[in-house]
């Protein structure tokens, strides 16, 4: 009887741990979307796209997230959950480090001579050629 009780106790602890991990993962997703929505006005100003185009950014982000979630699930089926998790974690860390290191540098594409952003009127969208 005590073996059955200890097995149930371990099972209950594991279920609560699983629920906690899923809850933290959901929190990270919500935080990620919140950060994206907070950063969108700055990106809109820097890249000079319209408010209507901002919705396309959200849609593209959501579709990419969902697609990669499906691909990650399939890879987990093929390669195993632990391997997929560790490869994803390492990839995320590397890409985050590259993104963090790139913030200090201004975008090089904005200085190209043929770039629309290099024209004086690009700095002042309200300037008219007439």
Give me the pLDDT at residue 78, please.
Answer: 96
Same domain, 34 and 59: no
* Host domain of residue 66: 50-101
Report the number of distinct structural domains present in the chain.
2
Residue 71 lies in a domain: yes
**Strand, helix or coil for residue 130:** coil
H helix runs in 48-128, sequence order: 51-79, 81-101, 120-123
Residue at 12 is within a domain: yes
Q: What is the pTM of this model?
A: 0.56
* CA gap 55, 58 in Å, rounded: 5
**In the chain, what is the greatest distance between 2 CA atoms, to the nearest angstrom?**
91
The model's pLDDT over 95-118, given as tens digits with 9 standing for 90+, comes to: 888 888 877 655 555 555 555 555
- 25 occurs within a structural domain: yes
Count CA atoms within 13 Å of residue 122 on its CB side: 14
Provide CB contacts within 8 A for 50, sequence distance 6+.
44
In this prediction, residue 79 has a pLDDT band, given cuts at 50, 70 and 90, of: very high
Assigned domain for 72 exists = yes
């Amino acid at each position: 009887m005590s073996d059955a009780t200890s097995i149930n106790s371990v099972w209950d602890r594991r279920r609560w741990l699983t629920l906690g991990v899923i809850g933290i993962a959901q929190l990270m997703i919500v935080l990620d979307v919140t950060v994206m929505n907070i950063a969108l006005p700055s990106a809109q100003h820097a890249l000079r796209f319209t408010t209507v185009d901002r919705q396309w950014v959200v849609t593209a982000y959501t579709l990419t997230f969902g697609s990669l979630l499906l691909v990650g699930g399939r890879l987990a089926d093929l390669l195993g959950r632990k391997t997929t998790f560790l490869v994803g974690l390492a990839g995320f860390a590397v890409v985050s480090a590259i993104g963090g290191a790139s913030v200090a540098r201004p975008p090089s594409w904005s200085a190209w001579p043929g770039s629309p952003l290099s024209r004086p009127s690009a700095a002042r969208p309200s300037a008219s050629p007439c």
